Structures are given as C-alpha cells and as structure tokens.
Structure 1
Amino acid sequence: MFSSKGARSSGSGQANAKGRGMFSVIGPDMAVTGDVRATADLHIDGSIEGDVACASLVQGADSRIVGGITAETARVAGTIEGSVRVKHLTVERSARIAGDIEYEDITIENGGQVDGRLKRVGTETAATGPRAVPDAGREQAA
C-alpha cells in the first residue's frame, strides 16, 4: 500500500483516479494542520486546519474542517468553518457550515445548518464553459 509504485501512481493524477477508483482517506484518529490537495476523491473523518482541494469530497459526521473547500462534488456531514466552492453540494442533516458557499446545485437535508451566504454560480464560471441553451431561452422570452 505504501510502496514507491503506489506513490508514483498517486502522483499521476486523474487517469489513475478514473481507471482504478482511487481515493484517499483521512481517518478519525488523524489531525492535519496545513492544506490538503488530492487529485482523486477524498474521504475525511478526522480534522483539518487548512484548505482542502479535491475532485470529490465526502466528509464524515464527526469530522471538522477549518478552512476553505474546493471540489467538483461534496457531501458534507460534519463541521466546516470556512468557504465552500463546489459544483454539486449535498449538506446532510448532521452538517454544520459556517461560511459562504458557492455552488451550481445544492441539496440541504432537513436539519443541515448553514450560517453564511449562498451564491449560485452559473456554468459560465464552471470549468466546462458557458451553456448557450439557457441563455438563448432567456433572450427569446424577453
């Protein structure tokens, strides 16, 4: 698991993440101070003091993140103190977020708490580029 071959394959990034279903885990007994970056999916059950950037984030109910989060998708169940910037966000009922959220689509389960501003960003700001169809529909309606 910790061989040099594994280290090389995790450094190669997206191709391996898609091909082998690669993911990283920060367990409940771990406390990280500093920024965390992952090219693959990331599951956090421990605590992090720093920014988190990954493809897809799953946060456990007992975890805590103090810092900003940037991801394509995120499913949060623990505590976050900081900004969240994602395309697809699910806030579970046990989640507590204190910070501003930028999202394309969001689901907040009953009981999930958000203390901050919610800002829906259109696909114009997304990595995939602008969507022409919805804009054309608005022009026709006007």
Structure 2
Amino acid sequence: MANGGSTFSVIGPDVTIRGNIEATVDLHVDGKVIGDISCASLVQGESSRIEGEIKAESARLSGEVSGTIEARDLVVLKSARVDGDVSYETLTIEQGANVEGRFGPLGAKKTKAAGQQAAPTPNGESAKLPLAN
C-alpha cells in the first residue's frame, strides 16, 4: 500500500505476534505482541498486552505494557498498566492508570550521559573522566 498518510495496520484481539514490528504507518494493537514495536503512531486497546520496547512519535496506551517506552506525545489512559521506564516530550496520565517505572523527558539519557563524562576543574575548565564499564 502507498503511504498516503491515512493508512494504518491492526493487530486483532485474537492475534499473538512473537517478534519485532516496524511500521511506517499508524498501528492499532488489540492482541498480544512479544517483541519491540517501532511505528509512527500507536494505539493500544484495553485488552492488549505488549512485552517489549515501544518507540513511536505518538502513543495512546490503554492495555498492559512491560518494557521501555519512547514517545514524543504519550497518553496513558486509566485502564493502562505500564511496567517500565518512560521517555516522552509531552505526557498525559489519566487518574487511575497504574504505572511502575521511571519517567523522564526525551533526550535526558543522552544529556545525563554527556554530563557524566566531563567534570569541572578548579579553574572552571572541563576534565574528561573515563566511563565505567
């Protein structure tokens, strides 16, 4: 199908996928995905379960998620159960949603890692420190 901006893919409630999913279009998940998801926009149904990393421009979660989430615009609905770290640019969490993990803005990991590599010296210059393995 040509990507006309209005196409989407649906994973029905009776479908279980074991493996990673990459979509250039919007994705609606009502079934179970055991693997990572990368898509333009993700809509998750209430009875669905995702076990893996989610990367999307926008995500609207209402089912179970076990794994890390990176989304520019993230909405976590009250029926959602999220277990994992979340990175976002804009975030909305409905009252009653169950979320367990760390939250931080997109890019915070990179900024934090860069900040750990340099430390100020007494004269105000930065000194490079070795990274721990």
TM-score, normalization: structure 1? Answer: 0.74
Q: Does 1:25 align with 2:32?
A: no
Q: Distance in 2 between matches of 1:84 and 1:17?
A: 27
SS in 2 for 1:48: strand
* Contact in 2 for aligned 1:17/1:23 (Cα 8 Å): no
In our comparison, the structure showing a higher alpha carbon Rg is: 2
Which structure shows the higher helix fraction? 1
Identity, in percent, stands at: 49
Q: Distance in 1 between matches of 2:9 and 2:35?
A: 17
Match of 1:39? 24
Which structure 2 residues correspond to residues 72-111 of structure 1 after superposition, within 5 A?
72-111=57-96
Structure 2 CA distance for partners of 1:39 and 1:17, relative to 1, 3 Å: farther
TM-score, normalization: structure 2? Answer: 0.78
Q: Which runs of 5+ in 2 are unaligned?
A: 111-133
Q: Shift of residue 120 of structure 1?
A: 1.3
* Contact in 2 for aligned 1:69/1:85 (Cα 8 Å): yes
Of 57, 65, 82, the residue aligned with 2:50 is: 65
Of 87, 90, 115, the residue aligned with 2:100 is: 115
Which structure shows the higher strand fraction? 2
**Quick one: which amino acid aligns to residue 58 of structure 1?**
V
* Contact in 1 for aligned 2:70/2:106 (Cα 8 Å): no
Q: Deviations over 1:10-53 (max 9, x none)?
A: xxxxxx241xx100000000000000111000000000000000
Aligned length: 109
Q: Which runs of 5+ in 1 are unaligned?
A: 1-5, 10-15, 126-142
SS in 2 for 1:104: strand
**Shift >2 Å, 4+ stretches:** none
Q: Does 1:48 align with 2:33?
A: yes
**Quick one: which amino acid aligns to residue 21 of structure 2?**
V
Q: Distance in 2 between matches of 1:115 and 1:45?
A: 22
Q: Distance in 1 between matches of 2:83 and 2:40?
A: 22
Q: Shift of residue 99 of structure 1?
A: 0.1
